[in-house]
């Protein structure tokens, strides 16, 4: 039988073989179906918000409904789309392949992670369905615990359950990368995507439990009416914020590190060059993960925390920008004098570098105490984090999806449609979010559904951009879906790349490799004539 006939997709057609699978590749597909659904739910909330904001008056929805919309948008996009996105889909699929293993260290734990994700998602969706919450995804106390009339405890429980899904994924990756590497695959021969996922997993494992206990505490406070975080009863609301942001700031690095890993793969493959400064890039990923734990107080500059603490967190926030900048410089140096081709994955990688730089730089502005006081809780902050999370991470996710699509499905996507979508996404994205920097500096607060009429032109630009972005994001759903049935069949290595994942069939067989590969060199080895030298050749 040919590789097209015997692979992980064809090995078992029953529902049981999918819903009780322990094959990391099938689990990755289960996750991608689920997170795609959540992406459109979160996107739906955003659509309603941008429709409301096209006019200065609050005429589409009431303020209470608007509060519930942005809360839903944040919760769904952060916990049910961005945090799982690359790790549970591209990560689950590619990690064993890229390290020459037959599966992850704990395959059953992997499936458990998906079921926990679905269960937590169901609870949260139910909470949203019966009315949602109005606290924002940040659950600040004492509003969330004492005054809100939304379904806070239910939403907190949903996120709590989903947190365990994150932890199990991170745990699995860490042990897998430590112990299941193929013979000859030393740490410094690992692809940067693996380094990035390792760094991400460290954050997943160490930060998420603090979120879990924090959600538990606010549930207790709300249920029993006790004042852990309520100043009227002796508590301190800032304790909640410290605990919450200790998780939620590293969480944003969960929401960018995997994207950076993807970009390293794309930039090397599509410039046919080895990565400039490999060790720097590898350790920069770890540095982001570690230093990222020291900066959370920059979300609290105006909260009432002490000035000393503000100073410390501001300084550390400057420090954390350094490894990110190192990566941007190294990618640029990799592109320099490379044989650059502009296939769709590369378009996404290039977009990432530009948009992430803007997002990152504006993050540095926000790290300055004085400037932050001026723009905190305005649309400047909203624009900053959307440039990183959407312009960065989502873009990288699409880049990786297109790059590895032939490996996952065994068929190529239609290239011209893909390039068109990438370009449309780029324009739609900038049109949506660049005006929001202006709005922020002009003083428009976030989380408000009305605004001063003089700001309307920028809001209209942003909403118009959002409509373009919405169409642009729908395009891949159609042409990728089409390619599953009618796309051109792909060989093992359609991009002529060097990684181990390209040294097996497309789609891969159930246990990945007919026999365990033996690695002889690092990733990204290309001859001066731009010929790929695979890691196991």
Partner 1 sequence: MHEAQPAFQYATLEQQHDAAQLGMWTFLATEVLFFGGLFVAYFVYRFGYPADFAEAGRHTKIVIGALNTAILLSSSFLVAWAVTAAKLDFGRLAAGLLVGATLLGAFFLALKGYEYVQEFRERLVPGVNFQFEAPHARGAILFFIFYFAATGLHALHVGIGLVILLAIASRARQGAYSICYHAPITVAGLYWHFVDVVWVFLFALIYLVGRSGA
Partner 2 sequence: MTYWPPRIVVIAWAALLVLLGMTIFLAYEPLGNFNLLVALCIAIAKALIIMAVFMELRERSGVMIAFAAAGFFWLAILIWFSGADFITRPQFPPQL
Cβ 105 to partner 1, closest distance in Å?
A: 5
140 scored as a contact of partner 2 (CB under 8 A):
no
Considering only residues 72 to 111 of the shown chain, the ones binding partner 1 according to CB under 8 A are 96, 101-107
Cβ 210 to partner 2, closest distance in Å?
A: 7
Q: Which run of H or E residues covers position 312?
A: helix 307-335
Burial label, 139 (beta-carbon count in 10 A; 0-12, 13-18, 19+)? buried
37 scored as a contact of partner 1 (CB under 8 A):
no
**C-alpha–C-alpha distance, residues 169 and 160, integer Å:** 15
CA distances from 343 to 45, 348, 414, 504, 517 (A): 32, 9, 11, 22, 29
**483, 519 contact by CB (below 8 A):** no
Q: Which is nearer to partner 1, 205 or 460 (CB)?
A: 205
Question: Considering CB distances under 5 to 8 angstroms, the limit depending on partner class, which of partner 2, partner 1, none binds residue 90?
Answer: none
Cβ 236 to partner 2, closest distance in Å?
A: 6
Q: Which run of H or E residues covers position 67?
A: helix 63-75
CA distances from 414 to 347, 406, 487 (A): 15, 11, 7
Considering only residues 296 to 315 of the shown chain, the ones binding partner 2 according to CB under 8 A are 296-297, 304-309, 312-313
Question: Considering CB distances under 5 to 8 angstroms, the limit depending on partner class, which of partner 2, partner 1, none binds residue 392?
Answer: none
List phi, psi (to 5°) of 45. Answer: -60, -40
The number of angstroms, rounded, from the C-alpha of 90 to the middle of its chain's C-alpha atoms is 11
Q: Select the residue interacting with partner 2 from 1, 15, 186, 234 (CB under 8 A).
A: 234
**C-alpha–C-alpha distance, residues 350 and 36, integer Å:** 24
> Which 3 state secondary structure label does DSSP give 401?
helix
242 scored as a contact of partner 1 (CB under 8 A):
yes
Q: Which residues contact 278 (CB under 8 A, 6 or more apart)?
A: 188, 192, 522, 524
238 scored as a contact of partner 2 (CB under 8 A):
yes
**196, 265 contact by CB (below 8 A):** no
Considering only residues 497 to 536 of the shown chain, the ones binding partner 1 according to CB under 8 A are 511, 516
Considering only residues 431 to 460 of the shown chain, the ones binding partner 1 according to CB under 8 A are none
Q: Which residues pair with 21 in a beta bridge?
A: none
Cβ 195 to partner 2, closest distance in Å?
A: 16
Q: Select the residue interacting with partner 1 from 92, 169, 214, 395 (CB under 8 A).
A: 214
With contacts defined by CB under 8 A, name the span among 49-57, 177-185, 479-487, 496-504 that binds partner 1.
177-185
Question: Considering CB distances under 5 to 8 angstroms, the limit depending on partner class, which of partner 2, partner 1, none binds residue 269?
Answer: none
The number of angstroms, rounded, from the C-alpha of 346 to the middle of its chain's C-alpha atoms is 18
Output the CA angle 220-223-227, nearest 5 degrees: 60
> Sign of torsion, CA 93 94 100 105?
negative
- Number of residues near partner 2 (by CB under 8 A): 26
Q: DSSP alpha helices (H): ranges in 456-498?
A: 456-486
Nearest CA among 25, 17, 1, 19 for reference residue 408: 25
Write each residue from 262 to 301 as x if it is in contact with partner 1 (CB under 8 A), else as -, in one continuous string: ----------------------------------------
Q: Which is nearer to partner 2, 118 or 312 (CB)?
A: 312
Question: Considering CB distances under 5 to 8 angstroms, the limit depending on partner class, which of partner 2, partner 1, none binds residue 103?
Answer: partner 1
With contacts defined by CB under 8 A, name the span among 1-9, 50-58, 293-301, 483-491 that binds partner 2.
293-301
Nearest CA among 336, 274, 334, 337 for reference residue 531: 274
Burial label, 486 (beta-carbon count in 10 A; 0-12, 13-18, 19+)? exposed
**C-alpha–C-alpha distance, residues 435 and 380, integer Å:** 9
Question: Considering CB distances under 5 to 8 angstroms, the limit depending on partner class, which of partner 2, partner 1, none binds residue 139?
Answer: none
Q: Which is nearer to partner 1, 178 or 336 (CB)?
A: 178
Break the chain down into helix, strand, coil percent, rounded to 5: 70, 0, 30
Q: Select the residue interacting with partner 1 from 45, 46, 83, 174 (CB under 8 A).
A: 174
Write each residue from 191 to 230 as x if it is in contact with partner 2 (CB under 8 A), else as -, in one continuous string: ---------------x---x--------------------
Q: Which is nearer to partner 2, 236 or 377 (CB)?
A: 236
Cβ 158 to partner 1, closest distance in Å?
A: 18
Where does this chain bind partner 2 (CB under 8 A)? 178, 206, 210, 231-232, 234-239, 242-243, 246, 293-294, 296-297, 304-309, 312-313
Where does this chain bind partner 1 (CB under 8 A)? 96, 101-107, 167, 170-172, 174-175, 178-180, 205-210, 212-214, 216-217, 220, 223-228, 233-236, 239, 242-243, 511, 516
């Amino acid at each position: 039988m040919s590789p097209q006939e015997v692979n992980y997709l064809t090995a078992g057609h029953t529902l049981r073989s999918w819903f009780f699978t322990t094959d990391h590749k099938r689990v990755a597909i289960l996750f991608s179906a689920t997170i795609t659904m959540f992406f459109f739910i979160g996107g739906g909330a955003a659509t309603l918000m941008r429709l409301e904001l096209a006019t200065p008056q609050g005429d589409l929805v009431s303020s209470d409904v608007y509060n519930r919309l942005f809360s839903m948008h944040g919760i769904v996009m952060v916990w049910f789309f961005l945090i799982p996105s690359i790790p549970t889909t591209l990560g689950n699929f590619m990690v064993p392949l890229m390290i020459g293993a037959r599966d992850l260290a704990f395959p059953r734990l992997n499936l458990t992670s998906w079921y926990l994700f679905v269960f937590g998602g169901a609870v949260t969706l139910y909470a949203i369905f019966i009315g949602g919450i109005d606290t924002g995804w940040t659950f600040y106390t004492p509003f969330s615990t004492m005054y809100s009339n939304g379904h806070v405890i239910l939403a907190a429980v949903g996120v709590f359950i989903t947190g365990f899904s994150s932890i199990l994924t991170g745990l699995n990756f860490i042990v897998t990368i430590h112990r299941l590497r193929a013979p000859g695959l030393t740490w410094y021969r690992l692809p940067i995507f693996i380094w990035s996922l390792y760094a991400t997993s460290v954050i997943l494992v160490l930060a998420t439990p603090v979120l879990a206990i924090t959600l538990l505490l606010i549930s207790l406070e709300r249920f029993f009416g006790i004042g852990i975080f309520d100043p009227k009863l002796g508590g301190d609301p800032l304790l909640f914020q410290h605990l919450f942001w200790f998780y939620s700031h590293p969480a944003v690095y969960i929401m960018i590190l995997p994207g950076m890993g993807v970009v390293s793969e794309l930039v090397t493959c599509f410039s046919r060059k080895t990565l400039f400064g490999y060790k720097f890039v590898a350790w920069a990923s770890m540095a982001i993960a570690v230093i990222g734990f020291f900066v959370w107080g920059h979300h609290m500059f105006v909260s009432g925390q002490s000035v000393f603490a503000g100073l410390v967190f501001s300084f550390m926030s400057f420090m954390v920008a350094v490894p990110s900048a190192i990566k941007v410089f190294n990618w640029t140096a990799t592109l320099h004098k490379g044989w650059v081709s502009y296939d769709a994955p590369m378009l996404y990688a290039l977009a990432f570098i530009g948009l992430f730089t803007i997002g990152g730089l504006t993050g540095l502005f926000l790290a300055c105490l004085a400037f932050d006081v001026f723009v905190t809780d305005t649309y400047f902050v909203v624009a900053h984090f959307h440039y990183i999370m959407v312009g960065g991470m989502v873009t990288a996710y699409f880049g990786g999806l297109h790059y590895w699509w032939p490996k996952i499905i065994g068929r190529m996507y239609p290239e011209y449609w893909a390039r068109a979508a990438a370009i449309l996404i780029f324009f739609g994205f900038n049109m949506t979010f660049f005006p929001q920097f202006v709005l922020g500096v002009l003083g428009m607060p976030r989380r408000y559904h009305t605004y001063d009429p003089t700001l309307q032109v920028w809001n209209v630009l942003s909403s118009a951009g959002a409509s373009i972005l919405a169409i642009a994001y729908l395009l891949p759903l159609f042409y990728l879906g089409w390619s599953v049935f009618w796309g051109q069949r792909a060989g093992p290595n359609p991009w002529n790349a060097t990684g181990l994942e390209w040294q097996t069939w497309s789609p891969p067989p159930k246990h990945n490799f007919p026999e365990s590969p033996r690695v002889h060199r690092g990733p990204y080895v290309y001859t001066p004539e731009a010929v790929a030298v695979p890691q196991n050749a």
